Structure 1
Amino acid sequence: MNEVLSQDEIDQLLTAISTGDIESEEVSQATDQRKIKIYDFKRPDKFSKEQIRTVSIMHETFARLTTTALSAQLRSMVHVHVASVDQLTYEEFIRSIPNPTTLGIINMDPLKGSAVLEIDPAITFSIIDRLFGGQGEGTKVQRDLSDIEQSVMEGIIVRILGNLREAWSQVIDLRPRLGQIETNPQFAQIVPPTEMVVLVTLETKVGEVEGMMNFCIPYLTIEPIISKLSAQYMYSTVRSGATTENLNIIKERLSTVHVNVVAEIGSINLTVRDVLSLRVGDVIRLQDTRTTDPMVLKIGNRKKFLCRPGLVGNKVAVQITQKLEDIEKEEFEELAVEGEE
């Protein structure tokens, strides 16, 4: 609340100014104690400093993974690191990139909307030259990509998106997918020009060629998970480890893994000489195995179930009768009871 001066105080102040005891600049500095913060309504800040810092941490992981992946694929020294993370309007981003350039429109499933991955032409042509057997030299000629060059860059971007998914895994199970590649920034209007975006700028070096990769994410796309973009959330996720979301992801990935299932009738040790002398019609007598004994069903190299052989239609099959872990538990309990007696 501003202090109100009395009439006597005002008269004394005017007298001091007129006699030169107080400079008028000092009076203006003393009376104006308010701090004014400039706010641009055309460009409002949508991301907090903590959220910007979290986005930077996530993409530092992405940069490390991309460095390793591209170095292995190009057989050349590649270095990628986060140069800056800024928030600006989409129009400012479009105006800041060259024309033509390589623009990958990325579907950010399960998030709504798309993002843009822009690769500097110098880096693009250096990668293409390297993959076509050259030394990885860039080109100073500004031109659009040919159909073959565009197909090559599609493969590179798809490989990079795998690293992006892993970098975002602590926040969301992101499944980025390449939609299309554009060379003219004016044809990549994924959001209105005034919409705010977060721009991750990655300094990239392929051999001796240096350039930039820009990853532009609109606020509308990232808004559903904006609350998760905090260091506290990420560290709590890492500490908790087996959260329900993580368990569901692990189960989903494990459900597609192929394993060998073997029904083992029995076993016997033979010398190499005996094996070499085997002929069609020979009978091998298994050790400690009778025809009435159940077979052992092995998952990978681990004995898991007991089963019996049979037929299902015209196919040989086995029927699971018991779990070996249950048998071991029963035997352990029987031994414990006998020990007590």
Structure 2
Amino acid sequence: INIVNIKSLRGVACWIVDPAVIYLTIDNMFGGEGHLEPKIVPKEYTATELRIVRRFVDMVLAEYEKAWKQVYELKFDFVRSEGNFQFAKITGNDEMVLHCKFTIDINGRAGDVDFCVPFWVFEPLKATLFAQSVGFQMESDTKWTGALESEMQTAEVEMAAILAEKKMVLGDILSLNVGEIIPIEVQDPITAYVNRVPMIRGKYGVKNGRYALRVEEIRNPTDFVSLGLKNRQMLGPQKYDDEFKFGMEK
């Protein structure tokens, strides 16, 4: 556990380095390949190990400061290392803290580095962070909306028009035989589902010798919640324009 002082915000925080990360770092520094499973044994770190940990933490602090540079000039000062959580208290028991977890991979072996800081330390930056996020969101929307709309035009979706539905009890289904007829009532209008979402209502019929659906309404999916589906009797052949004959021939 490494206690640091945040000079620019007048607060303290701590960086907790997973012993696995320390083991892999030391193994690599002294010629190992870092492929062996870390053997974590509770013990006090040697002076050499503590120096390596300090160098590692300094590198992490430098990178973290660099990541924040465009938003705020964070500056860390290393205070001390602690092996006991009881002596690494950075805030009261009832206070909220911010926690960030970073996973470091060394030759296929991973370990975590955790950053904990009292919430009140970053309180002065709330307005700045909010302004940055709003600006980024507006820029992103302007930049990506056109590209996203263009890509969506070529996205493949599945549309299914439900001609009829019928509720049956399980006993009747189990007693069915090949050749039996199940009476149904065709819905009118027909509801077409796009990727299982109701989007279109229309009338069924025949066009160019093929069954077809003429679109009469295109609705927001939420509109169908209040309307529901109306089951009506099957329509017979009706005389409409030559291009589209509504109804199904008997």
| TM-score between the two structures when normalised by the length of structure 2 | 0.50
Give the match for residue 233 of structure 1.
132
1:104, 1:165 → 2: CA distance? 16
Q: CA deviation at 1:151?
A: 0.7
Task: Could you list the structure 1 runs, at least 4 aligned residues long, displaced by more than 6 angstroms after superposition.
Answer: none
1:158, 1:203 → 2: CA distance? 17
1:142, 1:209 → 2: CA distance? 20
1:147, 1:185 → 2: CA distance? 20
Q: Per the alignment, in what secondary structure is the counterpart of residue 10 of structure 2?
A: coil
1:115 paired residue among 9, 13, 22? 13
1:149 paired residue among 32, 49, 73? 49
Give the match for residue 76 of structure 2.
176
Cα contact 1:170–1:234 (8 A) shared by 2: no
5+ unaligned residues in a row in structure 2: which ranges? 139-250
Give the match for residue 106 of structure 2.
206
Q: Per the alignment, in what secondary structure is the counterpart of residue 7 of structure 2?
A: coil
> Aligned partner of 2:20: which letter?
A
Q: Per the alignment, in what secondary structure is the counterpart of residue 229 of structure 1?
A: helix
1:162, 1:235 → 2: CA distance? 27
- The CA RMSD over aligned residues, in Å, is 2.3
1:227, 1:153 → 2: CA distance? 35
1:210, 1:236 → 2: CA distance? 35
Q: Per the alignment, in what secondary structure is the counterpart of residue 9 of structure 2?
A: coil
Give the match for residue 31 of structure 2.
133
> Aligned partner of 1:225: which letter?
L
**Cα-to-partner distance string for 1:27-79 (whole Å, 9 max, x where unaligned):** xxxxxxxxxxxxxxxxxxxxxxxxxxxxxxxxxxxxxxxxxxxxxxxxxxxxx
| TM-score between the two structures when normalised by the length of structure 1 | 0.37
5+ unaligned residues in a row in structure 1: which ranges? 1-102, 240-341
Cα contact 2:90–2:117 (8 A) shared by 1: no
Q: CA deviation at 1:161?
A: 0.9
Higher helix share: 1
**Cα-to-partner distance string for 1:94-131 (whole Å, 9 max, x where unaligned):** xxxxxxxxx11111111111111111111111111111
Q: CA deviation at 1:199?
A: 0.5
The count of corresponding residues between Structure 1 and Structure 2 is: 137
Is 1:160 aligned to residue 55 of structure 2?
no
Q: Per the alignment, in what secondary structure is the counterpart of residue 124 of structure 1?
A: helix
1:173, 1:236 → 2: CA distance? 19
Q: Per the alignment, in what secondary structure is the counterpart of residue 110 of structure 1?
A: helix
1:205, 1:145 → 2: CA distance? 22
